[in-house]
Each structure stands twice: as C-alpha cells, then as structure tokens.
Amino acid sequence: MSYDVLKSENVYNGRVFHIEKDEITLPDGRTCARETVVHGGAAAMIPIDENGKIIFVRQYRHSARTETLELPAGTLEKGEDPLVCATRELEEETSYKSNDFTFLFKMYSAIGFCSEILYIYLAENLFPGKFNMDDDEFITIERYTLEESIAKIWNGEICDSKTIAGILAYKEYLTNKN
C-alpha cells in the first residue's frame, strides 16, 4: 500500500515541537489531510534506588491541567544519543547518576498524531549527583516498590503512557531475568 505525501506545510513552530499538515494519497487513489506533531524524541528511565524502589517525579503537566506521577524523562537535543539524554535527565530531575543503564525498549508516545519516539532505560547502581532542573520545572521525588507502582497504575494515579509502559516492561524484565 502506498501513502505518498503530495504536499507538506509547516503550520506551527514551537519550542519543543512543530506541526505539519500533509496532503497524502490513500491506497485507493483518493487524497486526504493529516496533521502531525513533529517531535525530536525523548528518553525516560526507570531509576532503582538502593532499596529496590523506583524513583518517580511528580510534576505539573499543563496539557492534563494536573500534577502527574511519572518516570524521569527529557527531550532529546538535536542529534543527541538517547542514552546521553537519559544520563543527563536522570541527574537533572532526581539528583542521581548512574553508569549502569540497560536499554529496555522504544515506543511512540501517541502514534496516531505524533512522531515522538521514547527510549526507555533501566538505571541501576545509582550514586549522588545534583539537581539541575530547568527553570520552569518544579519536581518532587517519590519512591515506590514495583508492587506499589503497579497498584498506582490500576487505581489511576499513574496515567502517563511512558510510565505505564516502563513499569510493566520492568516487571517483565525482572521475570525474564530470574
């Protein structure tokens, strides 16, 4: 099947993403418009502390108009390796560092309308670093066991897609590791 782009127009430029409106051909020859949020990607990590607990960040997310409980994450800089981003964001958001990252998987954040790919890592053997949050970030740190984290998914407290996928992948990782 062919979905050729006939025309592409940049309709918005933002700080973190831009929006393109494309005219594409469908397999039956008709054409239609598609809008895409074009994002350079991000990295998230599942940091495990010395007690085996997962370190989360609680922060305000304006699109949801609420604070959310999430895995630490950050946007890739242009051309940046996802592991470099994960290393930087771990320290910036949690004040921990690690030299022990395991790549778990990658995923689209919202494949129906967004090009963002998230790279998810496990971060173990943490050691102290320092907070270096962005000027517009107000983050608090929370720690939970895997079981508590899964319960927070089912009760709706954790509702962020990368966090849900990361926690469930971590559970599977531990099952397969043992």
- Give every CB contact of residue 29 below 8 A, 6+ residues apart in sequence: none
Q: Is 92 a catalytic residue?
A: no
User: How far is residue 62 CA from its own chain's centroid?
Assistant: 16
List 80, 93, 137, 147, catalytic entry:
137
Axis-axis angle for helices 161-177, 146-154 (nearest 10): 140
Q: Which fold has domain 41-177?
A: Nucleoside Triphosphate Pyrophosphohydrolase (3.90.79)
For CATH 3.90.79.10, list the domain ranges present in the chain.
41-177
pLDDT tens-place values along the chain, 178 residues long: 678 999 999 999 999 999 999 999 999 999 999 999 999 999 999 999 999 999 999 999 988 899 999 999 999 999 999 999 999 999 999 999 999 999 999 999 999 999 999 999 999 999 998 877 667 778 999 999 999 999 999 999 999 999 999 999 999 999 998 7
